[in-house]
Amino acid sequence: MDFADGIGFIGVGILLLAFLLNQLKKVSHDSSIYILLNFFGAGMACLASILIHYWPFILLEGAWTLVSFLSWIRLLRAKKNPG
């Protein structure tokens, strides 16, 4: 296993952990932990895809990372300005 594989496995593991925790109703889809697990997991999977030059997953995981980041910003703003 090389570096890209290791990063990819960790990233996918984090994404699957977020999914599992949500399915078991341990975290909500709009909780900060769920959003951050998705952000870091997708970011690591995207990095692994970049390292192996696999464009379909660079686009998929890059979009997933961006959407997770924007969701986290939205959540922070909502907590700062409740109402």
- Alpha carbons 18 and 29: distance in angstroms, whole number: 9
Q: How many domains does the chain have?
A: 1
CA dist 38 and 74 (Å) reads 15
Question: Residue 11 is part of which domain span?
Answer: 3-80
The predicted pLDDT at position 83 comes to: 65
Report pLDDT for 11: 98
Q: What is the mean pLDDT of each run of 10 residues along the chain (83 residues)?
A: 96 98 97 98 98 98 98 94 76
pLDDT given at position 19: 98
Structure tokens at 14: 């984090």
| pLDDT value, residue 62 | 98
Residue 30 has what pLDDT?
94
Query: Is 45 within 8 Å of 9 (Cβ atoms)?
Result: no
Say what the pLDDT of residue 82 is. 78
- Whole-number pLDDT of residue 81: 85
